[in-house]
Structure 1
Amino acid sequence: MRVISSFDHSIYLELALTALEEHGIEKRSILAVPLEKAAEKPKLLDSIHRSDGTSLIDIGAACATALTVIASSIGFILHWGPIIWGLIGAAAGFIIGVLVDWLLKRQKSNQRKSQVIKGKSTEVIVVIDCEAHQMEAVEATLWKHMAFGVAKLQ
């Protein structure tokens, strides 16, 4: 019988592994594999097939719309007229929005890197080979020690 579970990389994992050994599961019957984090850089544009939620043009488009309306309204009294001032407002708003979004995401990325340094890491997959009569105790132990999920294979 095989039991598969996932844990956050924390003290609960260590407690669960120790408790399993106390239930008679040998060390060689337990496999714990930490998952690696994706090191992919955020993309400037999201596609229809893949979106990582970190597109840099979202705030730029909103700022461009807002400044287009404001600049074209003011353009009725200025020399170049509302169309030219609307285009200037759109370009300025887009640039401001992209810069603000880029700075915010850069700051958030730096905070995330510091969290990783402080010990925040990924999940750990635990695979346990056990006898049929041990399966219920193993499953109960995993749930007791804050497993994210447990699967049983027979």
Structure 2
Amino acid sequence: MQVFSTFNHSIYLELAIVALERSGIPKSQILAIPLEVKDDHFLLFDSIHQSDGISLFDIAAGLATAFAVIGVSVGFILTWGPIYWGLIGAASGFIIGFLINFIYYRVVKKRSKHEQTAEVILIVECIPEQTDRVIKILKTNFSKGLAVLS
């Protein structure tokens, strides 16, 4: 029988492997496969088929509206008039809002995000009588997921 489990790459994985070896399972029947960490880059534009949940246009649209209103109001006094100053205000508000979000997600969010550790798949080959003991060892060492293939 094969027992599959997933772990975060931590000391609990090492403890589980040692406990499995002490329970009578040889090293040749234990396989640990680390998974690659996914690159968390974001796209500027979401598509119909994929969205990363990050919107760079929400603050940009709000600031564009606010700056357009201010530009129109002030434009009645200035020489180019309210239409030009409204458009200038909308464009500058949109650019400022876009840059705020872009810098926030590129610099601040990337730094403050905890470094994700890669997961490890642990495969244990055992006889059917050892399966319950193997499952108990894996669960006590905080296995994230567990599957048994007979």
TM (normalized to structure 1)? 0.83
Q: Distance in 1 between matches of 2:72 and 2:62?
A: 16
Matched residue, 1:54: 54
Which residue of 1 is the match for residue 138 of structure 2?
A: 142
What is residue 99 of structure 2 aligned with on the other side? 99
Structure 2 equivalent of residue 83 of structure 1: 83
CA contact (8 A) 1:45 1:57 kept: no
Match of 1:132 in 2: 128
Structure 1's unaligned 5+ residue stretches are none
Alpha carbons of structure 1 residues 62 and 142: separation in structure 2 relative to 1, 3 Å: farther
Quote the Cα distance in structure 2 between the aligned partners of 1:89 and 1:5.
56
Distance 1:66 1:31 in 2: 59
Could you tell me how far apart the structure 1 residues matched to 2:123 and 2:62 are?
A: 48
Mapped pair 1:71 → 2:71: yes
In structure 2, the gaps of 5 or more residues are: none
1:29 equivalent in alignment to 2:25? no
Percent identity, aligned pairs only, is: 51
1:11 aligns with 2:11: yes
Which residue in 1 is equivalent to 2:119? 123
Tell me which residue corresponds to 1:109: 110
Q: Residue 33 of structure 1: SS of its match in structure 2? A: strand
CA deviations 1:5-56 (Å, max 9, x no partner) are: 1111111111111111111111111111111122363211111111123343
- Which segment is superposed worse, 76-85 or 52-61? 76-85
CA distance, structure 2, for counterparts of residue 91 and residue 103 of structure 1? 18
Please tell me the root mean square deviation across aligned C-alpha atoms, in Å: 2.1
Q: Secondary structure at the match of 1:62?
A: helix
Which whole-Å deviations, capped at 9, do the CAs of 1:67-114 have from their partners, x for residues lacking one?
2333334445544444333222221111111111121122232455xx
Structure 2 letter corresponding to 1:150: L
